Structure 1
Amino acid sequence: MISLPANNRSETGNRSGPSATEPFHLLRLLRENRGEGVILWLFNIGAERYWNPAPRGITDRSEDRIVSRMEEMNLLLCRPQDLLILREQPDEAFLARLRGWGFEIPRILVPAPGPDQAGIAELVLADERLLGELGDLARAEEERGGTLFFVPYAATLLEERIAERCGLALMAAPSSVGAAVNDKIANRLLAEELGLPVCAGRVCRSAEEIRSAWKELTEGEGAFRKVIIKEPHGASGKGLYLVDSPERLEPLLHRLERSAKRNTAAAWLVEGWQPKSADINFQLYVSPQGETEIFSMKEQMLRDTVYIGSRFPVEIGETAVSEYRRYGEEIGRKLHEQGYSGVAGVDSIITTDGEIIPIIEINGRFTLSTYLSFLAPILGERTKAISRYFRLSLAEPLSFGELCGKLEQEELLFDRESGEGVLVYTSGTLPVFREEGGEGCKGRLFALIAARQWSRAEELNDRLDRMLDRLEKA
């Protein structure tokens, strides 16, 4: 049985760390030097609303609650000496199962409760007790000759305030830089500046310019059947409009015109929808010193423009992998020139002609793929894995323990000895609460399907699909 590297702290509490031996480098701490240093983790999903504030529209309290509990996937990265802030303590059955699979559980800190729509950083800043505790922990670490490193999902003004208030070393780019990197128009301009291949298209600043770009892209030689119109900001498929006919274009243009009246700086990226053989996400790490490394590549599974899962390792050939590494180094160097450091998730495509378009968009933050990038000690180096993301709507609540029981009955639950099965890596997102009004239970299931062969992984994936379909129909 494979186990993670042991923690190197002595019983007296002495701890070596990057401050004493070498500069901070997140990948080394997660791979080679897992016993060194202490990291405070925060999964502050939804950072985009702080970088680019906009009216939220109608609030879905159930959705807010589910999304906020995605934070539990941060446990996949933690070491035992680390600290993790979660808005609620996880299900004990979930933590026990993670331990049994070989994951290392950190010390978990929980802020005072607050509204579901409040971000986790807001809850931390509102909790004087927790802020004081974090300050004490930072001072204690400094007295031992170390540093308490603060690594959030993304860095906004809120995380900067937490770091300043508590004396933490925030290991991320300034929030203004992070916001600038998370801009689809800026991403295209960066690619053009580097001379990288880009999709046919252009930046538009009015509805009339969008209409003109549409005609250029859909008429004449090399015409595209579909065009994608992108707002510069937005995550999880928001602000992306896939248009395949003039009848769909015109109503959208009316909406965008109304938006432009409220924002004179409004702009959109209009590109031809390129036929592709693969959607590839690669994870870049840009160290504070400017070292750049691609540390993970996954083939994304999309439904139109919305992410539903991924497959890894990618099997695209050594030539393509080498090209990606070269592109990644160029992109990382440019990002560092702009003041960026930390993890960046880059979405790209390989066209049906075999051309790599290395930047479709850059997320200057962690992505869901980041949390699945350090599983080799658990799964094994040769494992074939499919990550899946399901929206569930059930008649009755389903806890993590109950779900694992059903997976065991179907002989689907992950077994570490065989290295095969379904590993569910959040518990709080499951449909554990009845909706207001008593009309069923909604949730999300994040699962990793592991096997030694792709055919076996696909078989387990299909069986999981059928099991969940039966649960929803029950």
Structure 2
Amino acid sequence: MKARRKHVFVATFDAEQYWRDSQLAKLPFFPDGDAERIVSAMDEMMFLFSQPGDVILTRKAFQPAYLNYLRSIGFDFESNPFDLDVRNEKQKSMFELLLESDYHSQLTEMIGNNAVLAPFAVLPRGDQVCESYKLQGRLPSFAIVQRVNSKLYSHHMKDRLQIRNVGQVIQSGGDLLETGEKLLQEGSFLIKDLFGVSGKGNLLITSKSMLERIAAYLTSQENKGKAVQFIVEPLLSKSEDFSCQFHLNDEGKLDMIAVNKLINVDFAYTESCTPDQSFLANLEEKGYFKMMENIGRELFKDGYIGHVCVDSMILEDGEVIPLIEINARKSMSLIKNQVDKHLKQRGLSGNLSYLSVSNENASFGFEHLLDSLDKEGLLYTASNGKGVFPLSANTLDVNQHLKKAAKGRLYYSIVSKDVHEKQQLNEQLRSCFTRHAYKLFN
């Protein structure tokens, strides 16, 4: 059997900003530097994909206490002991930081020879990273990745595969006004940015006055030379959000990985959990998995290989909408599946969720939280087989040095065989935060 080569995991979670054409008009948004820094620190969750001897390269170095914890529960990987983003340049991708790093020789020595680049998503300059660090990597071209991740591609895929398509493409402020007025006669509708993600780039239009303001906003950008291109679609009455994860290999063979139910709030991801067998049986009966194979076949025809996450939903009347959009990259639900794989070895199960907090006590960070959870018997360990399994550390502390009441986020899994115990552990985790002067946002 051929020996597995060392993998080098690198992640930039807000990949969409690097795929988006700068000449496209934007919907109104409020910049949030704290949130952007939190997203930039999510790269440490790539440890879940690692096998012994692999390398995880992160923007901010893993905290020693967190590394020790992960090793105690069975993870064995190498990582950079220094920050790669030494100047806090959150607008730069990890590929850019690696190419500009002052630590090139140290990183090259850690990586060694003949290692494989395993990114969260394909971004510009990936080929240069492979060349600079002598990494192997069968990656699709950036142009292909950019194309298949556009919502325009998903929109046309529905027509290619004869999936019911309620969306329309609008290409001017005037077009939005005309189309929107018709849609409002039936109810509220969504405007979707071609590269919007997890709550950003989806705008719900509920009134004519709101529509007129947005149309005028887009027209003003149009007059400055920006290209207006969005998808609009009626707000459907859904009962379930879910997603399917699969992988396309070099020959186009589709490896079905998982289906995960999603809990979204205001169009933003909040939790992934495992569906029961009746849910999966219903999808099988309605031809859902055959449709995923069809989508995979078309993606491969268009030159894409790698991980895929297809967002889907079930309407209140039971209709399965197999394709909302295609995400040609790794995903939060795929990360949740990696949690499942790790816990399954021990006969356990969990989920993937997060808490958004602000810290009124700058002296209490992740290391103290880890210690508190351990002392209170709430921390998942190899010996107790239940508790809170922290999936990130830097996301909690990344803004701490900037100001008081800085925002943070803890990604975690609640590990337990009992549903009621999971709820209890979740409440105990929240109580631990509030006792240490954290304000909770969800």
Tell me the TM-score normalised to structure 1 length.
Answer: 0.82
Instruction: Tell me what 2:396 maps to.
Output: 430
Asked if 1:106 corresponds to 2:73, the answer is no
Deviation per CA, 1:32-57: give whole Å up to 9, x if none. xxxx2211111123332322254999
Asked if 1:453 corresponds to 2:418, the answer is yes
| Secondary structure in 1 matching 2:396 | coil
Instruction: Tell me what 2:94 maps to.
Output: 120
Q: Which deviates the most, 275-284 or 307-316?
A: 307-316
Deviation per CA, 1:377-397: give whole Å up to 9, x if none. 432276453322222111113
Identity of aligned residues (%): 26
Instruction: Tell me what 2:160 maps to.
Output: 193
Q: Measure the CA separation in 1 of the matches of 2:242 and 2:181.
A: 29
**Aligned amino acid, residue 77 of structure 2:** I
Q: Measure the CA separation in 2 of the matches of 1:269 and 1:112.
A: 35
Instruction: Tell me what 2:319 maps to.
Output: 355
Instruction: Tell me what 2:131 maps to.
Output: 164
How has the CA–CA distance of structure 1 residues 192 and 302 changed in structure 2, closer, same or farther, with 3 Å as cutoff? same
Asked if 1:281 corresponds to 2:236, the answer is no
Q: Do the aligned partners of 1:281 and 1:300 also contact (CA within 8 Å) in 2?
A: yes
Asked if 1:386 corresponds to 2:351, the answer is yes
Q: Do the aligned partners of 2:199 and 2:269 also contact (CA within 8 Å) in 1?
A: yes
CA shift at 1:335, angstroms?
0.5
**Partner of residue 407 from structure 2, selected from 434, 439, 442:** 442
Asked if 1:319 corresponds to 2:282, the answer is yes
**Partner of residue 67 from structure 2, selected from 95, 102, 106:** 95
Q: Measure the CA separation in 2 of the matches of 1:362 and 1:238.
A: 16
Structure 2: runs of 5+ lacking an equivalent: none
Q: Measure the CA separation in 1 of the matches of 2:439 and 2:9.
A: 38
Instruction: Tell me what 1:180 maps to.
Output: 147
How has the CA–CA distance of structure 1 residues 317 and 85 changed in structure 2, closer, same or farther, with 3 Å as cutoff? closer
Q: Measure the CA separation in 1 of the matches of 2:431 and 2:276.
A: 26
Q: Measure the CA separation in 2 of the matches of 1:383 and 1:214.
A: 49
Q: Measure the CA separation in 2 of the matches of 1:399 and 1:53.
A: 38
CA shift at 1:303, angstroms?
1.1
Deviation per CA, 1:351-389: give whole Å up to 9, x if none. 112221122111121222222222344322764533222
Instruction: Tell me what 2:438 maps to.
Output: 472
Instruction: Tell me what 2:180 maps to.
Output: 214
**Partner of residue 121 from structure 2, selected from 148, 151, 154:** 154
| Secondary structure in 2 matching 1:456 | helix
Q: Do the aligned partners of 1:396 and 1:441 also contact (CA within 8 Å) in 2?
A: no
Instruction: Tell me what 2:293 maps to.
Output: 329
Instruction: Tell me what 1:205 maps to.
Output: 171
How has the CA–CA distance of structure 1 residues 468 and 256 changed in structure 2, closer, same or farther, with 3 Å as cutoff? farther
Q: Which deviates the most, 41-50 or 455-464?
A: 455-464
CA shift at 1:129, angstroms?
4.8
CA shift at 1:61, angstroms?
5.2
Q: Do the aligned partners of 1:114 and 1:123 also contact (CA within 8 Å) in 2?
A: no
- Runs of 4+ with >6 A deviation: 55-59
Q: Do the aligned partners of 1:187 and 1:362 also contact (CA within 8 Å) in 2?
A: yes
Give the CA RMSD over aligned residues.
Answer: 2.8
Q: Measure the CA separation in 2 of the matches of 1:51 and 1:473.
A: 35
Q: Do the aligned partners of 1:394 and 1:431 also contact (CA within 8 Å) in 2?
A: no
Q: Measure the CA separation in 2 of the matches of 1:466 and 1:247.
A: 43
Q: Do the aligned partners of 2:357 and 2:407 also contact (CA within 8 Å) in 1?
A: yes
| Secondary structure in 2 matching 1:269 | strand
CA shift at 1:166, angstroms?
3.2
**Aligned amino acid, residue 245 of structure 1:** S
How has the CA–CA distance of structure 1 residues 367 and 59 changed in structure 2, closer, same or farther, with 3 Å as cutoff? same
Q: Do the aligned partners of 1:228 and 1:271 also contact (CA within 8 Å) in 2?
A: yes
Q: Measure the CA separation in 1 of the matches of 2:224 and 2:74.
A: 52
| Secondary structure in 1 matching 2:164 | coil
Deviation per CA, 1:309-332: give whole Å up to 9, x if none. 222245514131463321211111
**Partner of residue 272 from structure 2, selected from 296, 310, 315:** 310
Q: Measure the CA separation in 1 of the matches of 2:339 and 2:139.
A: 23
Q: Do the aligned partners of 1:414 and 1:450 also contact (CA within 8 Å) in 2?
A: yes
Q: Measure the CA separation in 2 of the matches of 1:62 and 1:319.
A: 41
**Aligned amino acid, residue 172 of structure 2:** S
Deviation per CA, 1:164-201: give whole Å up to 9, x if none. 33332223211111111111121111121111233x23
Q: Do the aligned partners of 1:384 and 1:451 also contact (CA within 8 Å) in 2?
A: yes
Q: Measure the CA separation in 1 of the matches of 2:227 and 2:97.
A: 33
Structure 1: runs of 5+ lacking an equivalent: 1-14, 18-35, 142-146
**Partner of residue 48 from structure 2, selected from 39, 57, 76:** 76
How has the CA–CA distance of structure 1 residues 92 and 287 changed in structure 2, closer, same or farther, with 3 Å as cutoff? same
Q: Measure the CA separation in 1 of the matches of 2:105 and 2:214.
A: 46
Q: Measure the CA separation in 2 of the matches of 1:331 and 1:174.
A: 19
Aligned length: 429
CA shift at 1:424, angstroms?
0.8
Asked if 1:41 corresponds to 2:6, the answer is no
Deviation per CA, 1:222-271: give whole Å up to 9, x if none. x3x32111111122321110122223222222212223334453211111
How has the CA–CA distance of structure 1 residues 206 and 41 changed in structure 2, closer, same or farther, with 3 Å as cutoff? same
Q: Measure the CA separation in 2 of the matches of 1:214 and 1:94.
A: 50
| Secondary structure in 2 matching 1:457 | helix
How has the CA–CA distance of structure 1 residues 405 and 272 changed in structure 2, closer, same or farther, with 3 Å as cutoff? same
**Aligned amino acid, residue 11 of structure 2:** F
Tell me the TM-score normalised to structure 2 length.
Answer: 0.87
Q: Measure the CA separation in 1 of the matches of 2:430 and 2:188.
A: 30
Q: Measure the CA separation in 1 of the matches of 2:85 and 2:312.
A: 40
Matches within 5 A, 1:293-304: 293-304=255-266
